[in-house]
Structure 1
Amino acid sequence: MNNRRKFIQLSAAMGMGAFLPLQFCSPKTKENEEEETLVLATEGTLSAFGIQLYSVKENMAENAAETIKSIAGYGYNQIEGFDGGKGIFWGMKNTEFKKLTDDLGLDFVSSHSNTFKDLEKNAAEAGEIGMKYLINPYVGPQKSMDDFKRIAEEFNKQGEICKKNGVKFAYHNHGYTFVELDGQIPHDYLMENTDPELVDFELDLYWVYTAGYDPIKYMEKYPNRFKLGHIKDKESGIDIAEPNGSTLIGTGVIDFASILKTAKDTGMEYFIVEQERFVDISPMEAAEKNATYMKSFKF
């Protein structure tokens, strides 16, 4: 997620990289929009969906409890958290946060967290209240594949710690893991060198698209590894590689009907709305409109 490094600092030695356009993208076209209409008319609805609270981070910083109450009123039935400086429970005890979400009919599915810090404590508290996942959201571009090899080893260790505490570990991608490094695609290496029993992945469709890859082909390449997904759209008319281009879901270029059907078919279980850029609309208004889209979405 953009600017997440403000909250997650994993290494002072991380290099910087570019988001390079590659190939095999699935933007909407007249043909697949017609196919989307057919799909929407003939298949089932998405019964459960959530929101990454980073989408409303300013509101969370002002009043986390009231923000979450509003989110529940929009029709979300799941939430995914992040550490905004007060911990993943926003200054509350884990059980207090759990009661808040339960009373609102929300399933606190997962949270982004610096899994290189206080993992034992966070995993124990997450497991205690029945959370499904702790997710590492950012490791940053690396200088060599040796760095990603060390990260894969660390992810396996972190997965063991999470499993011991009754919660699962996952990694959320950005675009940098899809940029070739030392003749390899780092994300492929992470997928192929982490233990599926210990490490799952959260596929951010927007960043895969921005990196120039087709999310459908990537999910088909690694079935049952992407248990969570960030549902985020990209505004039309801007360069594919532009990182700051998210928009209201359903108004951009990403073909959700085809992508989310493939996601379901290849093992994705949690569908998490995220928006990071707002034009002529507030984050909370966008969250409400995105919920409306998700409630009406059909496969």
Structure 2
Amino acid sequence: MYNRKEFLKRSGGAALGLMLGSTLSAACNTSSRVKINGSIKALGIQLYSLRDDLPKDPKGILKQLAAFGYKEIESYEGAQGMFWGMGNKGFKSYVDGLGMKIVSSHCDFRADFERKAAEAAEIGMSYLICPYVGPQKTLDDYKKLADEFNKAGEICKKNGIRFAYHNHDYSFRQQDGQYPQDIFMQHTDQSLMDYEMDIYWVVTAGQDPIAWLKKYNGRFKLCHVKDRKKGAVPQKGEPNLSVIVGTGSIDFKTILAAARAEGMQHYILEQEAYEKAPVECVKEGAAYLNKLVF
């Protein structure tokens, strides 16, 4: 069974401190670069944020999320599958009744993907997303992955939905003089797939999310809104340093305004490390983001 938690444990390497400097400052303090005039119309949440609580009471957790003001759901493949034991139609019916919509799910695109795409399309989902592939030994390996992404995109397109890839920090660190993320962007067909920018991991790699959003205008359609501990300097093997959204170092007001200008459509909170109970973390994050004007 695909286990995203194990993937995340393997992905926690950090950028060198010298890389951080000006690019991290740009990501966290860019208040004059983008016009501020909007808000999130339908805040989403990645259910992995509640990975320990969700399997015990899927319906109860979803009900709480609706009460916190979440409108969109991004699922993932846990032990009960991405529809949490309800089946695709049962899950849709339940979240519809709560005033929410499932728009996407992380999943293993190498296993039974035709069925997953058909089930997602059947209930009106927009995306299936690869959450992690891990650092590769060579740049050619990233090109081979891009070919796999295109094939997954073809399956999704055939079913009337889209495929996307969710980044970690490794693709935003140079390898043999190139950024693996550039290879992904340049070797995948825009007609077949989009990208989900995890803002936290871009910043952790010492990169400026706004620069990447502008470089590949219109290709990042979803984003993970995940904050980073103030004053944290990336170091090799660091633990996940995400904090409650709105309490960390990332300037979401400016970054999300830039994202909107570059074609972003879905804003999805994800919480990976906890300062208090996970449910309280995502409740406070929702309160911050639902009031944010950008």
State the TM-score, normalized to the length of structure 1: 0.90
Matched, 1:253 2:253: no
1:150 aligned to 2:144? Answer: yes
SS in 2 for 1:228: strand
The code of the aligned residue for 1:258 comes to T
- Tell me whether 91-100 or 123-132 shows the greater mean CA deviation: 91-100
1-side partners of 2:230 and 2:93: how far apart? 41
Question: In the alignment, which residue of structure 2 is the partner of 1:110?
Answer: 104
- Hey, what does 2:4 align to over in structure 1? 4
Question: Which residue of structure 2 aligns with residue 192 of structure 1?
Answer: 186
Match of 1:99 among 80, 93, 96: 93
Match of 1:205 in 2: 199
Deviation at 1:85, TM superposition (A): 1.7
Q: CA deviation at 1:138?
A: 0.4
Secondary structure of the structure 2 residue equivalent to 1:58: coil
**Which residue of the partner structure matches residue 54 of structure 2?**
60
- State the identity %: 47
**1 CA distance for matches of 2:13 and 2:179?**
14
- Structure 1 counterpart SS, 2:49: helix
Deviation at 1:28, TM superposition (A): 3.9
Is the 8 Å Cα contact of residues 230 and 248 (structure 2) preserved in structure 1? yes
The residue that corresponds to 2:261 in the other structure is 265
CA distance in 2, matches of 1:210, 1:218: 14
Q: Is the 8 A contact 1:16 1:142 kept in 2?
A: no
User: What's the offset of the Cα at 1:17?
Assistant: 8.5
Answer whether contact 1:28 1:253 (CA < 8 A) is retained: yes
- Return 5+ residue gaps in structure 1 as ranges: 9-14
Say which SS state the counterpart of residue 141 (structure 2) adopts.
Answer: helix
TM-score scaled to structure 2, two decimals?
A: 0.91
Moved over 6 A (4+): none
**In the TM superposition, what is the alpha-carbon distance from 1:179 to its structure 2 partner?**
2.1
Query: Equivalents in 2 of 1:112, 1:81: separation in Å?
Result: 6
Structure 1 residue corresponding to 2:288, chosen from 289, 293, 298: 293
Counterparts in 2 of 1:7 and 1:254: CA distance versus 1, 3 Å: closer
Q: Deviations over 1:174-230 (max 9, x none)?
A: 011122223321110000110001010000000000001000001000000000000
For 2:255 and 2:11, how far apart are their aligned partners in 1?
30
Matches within 5 A, 1:201-240: 201-240=195-234
Find out whether 1:174 has 2:168 as its counterpart.
Answer: yes
The answer to whether the 8 A contact 1:27-1:253 is kept is: no
Task: Please report how far the alpha carbon of residue 92 of structure 1 lies from its aligned counterpart in structure 2 after TM superposition.
Answer: 1.8
Cα displacement (A) at 1:147: 1.1
CA distance in 2, matches of 1:288, 1:57: 15
Counterpart for residue 12 of structure 1 = none
Provide, for residues 232-271 of structure 1, a one-character-per-residue CA deviation record: whole Å limited to 9, x for no partner: 1001022135451100111111011110011000000000
SS in 1 for 2:110: coil
- Asked if 2 retains the 8 angstrom alpha-carbon contact of 1:210 and 1:243, the reply is no
- 1:48–1:243 distance in 2 versus 1, CA, 3 Å: same
Distance 1:273 1:17, change over 3 A: closer
**Native 8 Å contact 2:166 2:195 kept in 1:** yes
Alignment equivalent of 1:284, drawn from 274, 279, 282? 279
- The reply to whether residue 129 of structure 1 matches residue 123 of structure 2 is yes
Letter in 1 for 2:278: P
* Contact 1:49/1:76 (8 A) holds in 2: yes
CA contact (8 A) 2:27 2:210 kept: no
**What count of residue pairs does the alignment treat as equivalent?**
284
Q: Which runs of 5+ in 2 are unaligned?
A: none
SS in 2 for 1:19: coil
What amino acid does structure 2 have at the position aligned with 1:287? V
